[in-house]
Amino acid sequence: MKITNYPREERKFADIGFAQIHFSFRADYIEKKRHNFGALWNLDEGLMDPDSKGFGMHPHKDMEVVTLLLNGEGHHKDNQNNVGTLKSKGVQLITAGTGIMHEEYNYSKTEQYVGYQIFLHPREKGLKPKYQKIELSTDDYTNKLRLIVTPDGRNNTLAIANDSFLN
C-alpha cells in the first residue's frame, strides 16, 4: 500500500465568516489527486465560534455524512423531524439518501466548535434518509481505538450504508 502524506498546512482553506474550514479531500478540490479517494468524497475540519449562526438549511443527497465533534456542541435539525445536539466527543451519521435538508450550528455559548466531517459514497443511491448519533465516554477513547461506524451497526456503532469501518 502506498501512503501519501498531505501536510495540514497544504489543505485548502475557506473562511466563510462564521466558520473556518480546512479541506483534505473534496470533489471540487483544485488538485485532481485530492479528489475522491475510494468511497471518501470529502474530509474537512471545521471551526465555528461559540453561539455561531452556523449552516442554515441546506441539502445533501446520496451521501453518508459522518461528523466527529471534538469540542463545542453541534446542533442538528432536518426535514425528517430529527433534532439533536451532539456533545463534545460525540459522533453523528446522516444517510442523505433520496435527499435531506438540514441545518447545523454551534449550540455552545462559550466553546468553539471543532469537528471533522467525512462524506462517503453510499453503496447504493436512493436510500431512505436516516439520522443517528452516539455519545462517547472518556473510557471509549482513552488509550485505545473505539469502533464507531460499521456497515451493520454492530457493538453499539452507527450503521453506515457502505463497507466502511471507522475507529
What tens digit of pLDDT does each residue of 58-115 get? Answer: 999 999 999 999 999 999 999 999 999 999 999 999 999 999 999 998 999 999 999 9
Which pLDDT score, from 0 to 100, does residue 29 have? 54
Q: Determine contact, residues 109/136, Cβ cutoff 8 Å.
A: no
Interatomic CA distance for residues 157 and 140, integer angstroms: 12
Under the banding of pLDDT at 50, 70 and 90, the label for residue 14 is confident
Beta bridge partners of 64: 95, 120
Q: Where are the domains of the chain?
A: 35-159
Tell me how crowded residue 4 is: count the other CB atoms within 10 A of its CB. 7
For residue 76, count other CB atoms closer than 10 A to its CB.
Answer: 20
Pick the closest to residue 29 from 17, 19, 39, 43 (CA basis).
43
**Cα–Cα distance for residue pair 40/157, rounded to 1 Å:** 19
Asked if residue 4 lies in contact with residue 18, where contact means CB atoms within 8 angstroms, the answer is no
What are the grid coordinates assigned to 151, written together? Answer: 456497515
The amino acid present at 36, given as its one-letter code, is N
**Domain topology for 35-159:** Jelly Rolls (2.60.120)
